[in-house]
Amino acid sequence: MPGAETFRASAEAYDRLVGRYGPSLALDLIEFAQVEPGSRALDVGCGPGALTAELVKRLGAANVAAAEPSEPFALACRARLPGVEVAIAPAEALPFAEDAFDVALAQLVVNFMGDAPAGVRELTRVTRPGGTVAACVWDYAGEMTLLRAFWDAAREVEPERGALADEGAVMRWCGEGELAELWSSAGLEHVRSGSLLARAAYSGFEDLWAPLLTGVAPSGAFCVSLDEERRAALHDAYRSRLGVGEAPFELTARAWAVAGTVPG
């Protein structure tokens, strides 16, 4: 999938861009997946650890493990959450035994997997029969406001390149119902779909814009690929689409969620 390599960046840059929504989204995903106290949980594609941290609060570090292919993100997660086993590995090749977890979760990851069906099969393999495999992805084409407004502005300023990079157009598994098909084809049972609404607060537009200049995530990578003049045009078009200035504001972001039960 396009974009996975754009996460080999600093954890702080990620925290200030998409990571800002992580803790709020994580609480919703944990509730959606019905993670029970006392469970042993795996966070796949953990990034710097937004969901991992909420799992640790609920279950304790000894009951939480994580996997992440980007080394800087995996190392940040390890440093932030001592006691959690964080493997440097992709979803498609998890270094964990069969049936090792009660629940396996992947927050904002499935669309970045090189082979999503294989990744979901791996999440299923490491989860015990009767356990839960759950995930969420951004509604890039609709109500993930930060990224929808970004790509609409990008398409306005650079129509051809913007259309080719627009995550709402190029990401698989991010349309309503697509995750449920993936879950069913992995053999998961009692598949449930839903939507989650995360939020993030900004001190002003420059607070939102600054992390894009680090090149993190597909939006940041697009931003830094422009020359100065085009980037200034993108900055202005983006701000005007969001209708915000230098006063504090909040944005909401919708994610599609899915959960299924491991058979057997």
Ligand X SMILES: C[S@@+](CC[C@H](N)C(=O)[O-])C[C@H]1O[C@@H](n2cnc3c(N)ncnc32)[C@H](O)[C@@H]1O
Residue 17 near ligand X by CB under 6 A? no
Residue 198 near ligand X by CB under 6 A? no
With CB atoms as reference, the residue minimizing the distance to ligand X is 47
For residues 1 and 150, what is the distance between their CA atoms, to the nearest angstrom? 20
What number of CA atoms fall less than 13 Å from residue 59's CA on the CB side?
28
Nearest to 210 by CA among 6, 219, 167, 242: 219
Residues in region 28-67 near ligand X by CB under 6 A: 44-47, 50-51
Q: How far is CA 237 from the centre of its chain?
A: 25
Residue 108 near ligand X by CB under 6 A? yes
Q: How far is the CB of 18 from ligand X (least distance, A)?
A: 5
Contacts 24+ apart (CB under 8 A), 56-63: 56/81, 56/83, 56/84, 58/30, 59/35, 63/38, 63/39
Tell me the window of 102-110, 144-152, 243-251, 253-261 that interacts with ligand X (CB under 6 A): 102-110
Q: Which two tokens stand for residue 191?
A: 């598949």
Q: How far is the CB of 35 from ligand X (least distance, A)?
A: 15
Q: How far is the CB of 23 from ligand X (least distance, A)?
A: 9
Q: Which of 28, 54, 68, 139 binds ligand X (CB under 6 A)?
A: 68
Would you say 85 or 156 has its CB closer to ligand X? 85
For residues 162 and 222, what is the distance between their CA atoms, to the nearest angstrom? 8
Residue 124 near ligand X by CB under 6 A? no
Q: 2 — phi, psi (to 5°)?
A: -65, 140
Residue 141 near ligand X by CB under 6 A? no
Contacts with ligand X, residue ranges (CB under 6 A): 4, 7, 18-19, 22, 44-47, 50-51, 68-70, 73, 90-92, 107-109, 112-114, 119
